[in-house]
Amino acid sequence: MFETALVNVYTSDIEAAIGFYRDLLEFEETFRTPTEGTPEHVELRLGGFTIGLGTVEAAKRVHGVDAEPGRPAMVVVIWARDADEAFAKLVAAGVPAVQPPHDAGNGNRNALLRDPDGNLVEIVSKVS
């Protein structure tokens, strides 16, 4: 019955969000509409996970949704080889840090940052 799924994150600045997820977190763009000009929706893939980025304006026009980016109702979790190295790279690129890397239990090392809209992004790696 069901085939696949993705998480859609609403954004106030889709170009900044694309740059964050594609250029800094190394997601690969797989879909965009419209294909010319500024997109309203873009899908990006990392491993087996797809994230959709949709503009606040499109959410209102198409779905009647008043999206409020940056509310901490969810977190996008990105697994990395080394959370400390990834955190340092992202902070050096100007990404706002919420919590530096720390041992979080279960053999995991976690760090929290914010994407360009203020949504939480958690970087996780196994403690070596």
Quick one: pLDDT at residue 23? Answer: 97
- Report pTM: 0.83
Sign of dihedral through CA atoms 27, 99, 95, 67?
positive
Going residue by residue through the chain, which has 128 residues, state the pLDDT in tens, using 9 for 90 and above.
667 778 989 999 999 999 999 999 999 999 999 999 999 999 999 999 999 999 999 988 877 888 888 776 678 989 999 999 999 999 999 999 999 999 987 899 999 999 999 998 999 999 97
Locate 111 and state its tokens.
């760090």
Class of domain 7-126: alpha beta
pLDDT, residue 75, reads 84
In angstroms, rounded to a whole number, what is the distance separating the alpha carbons of residues 116 and 50?
Answer: 18
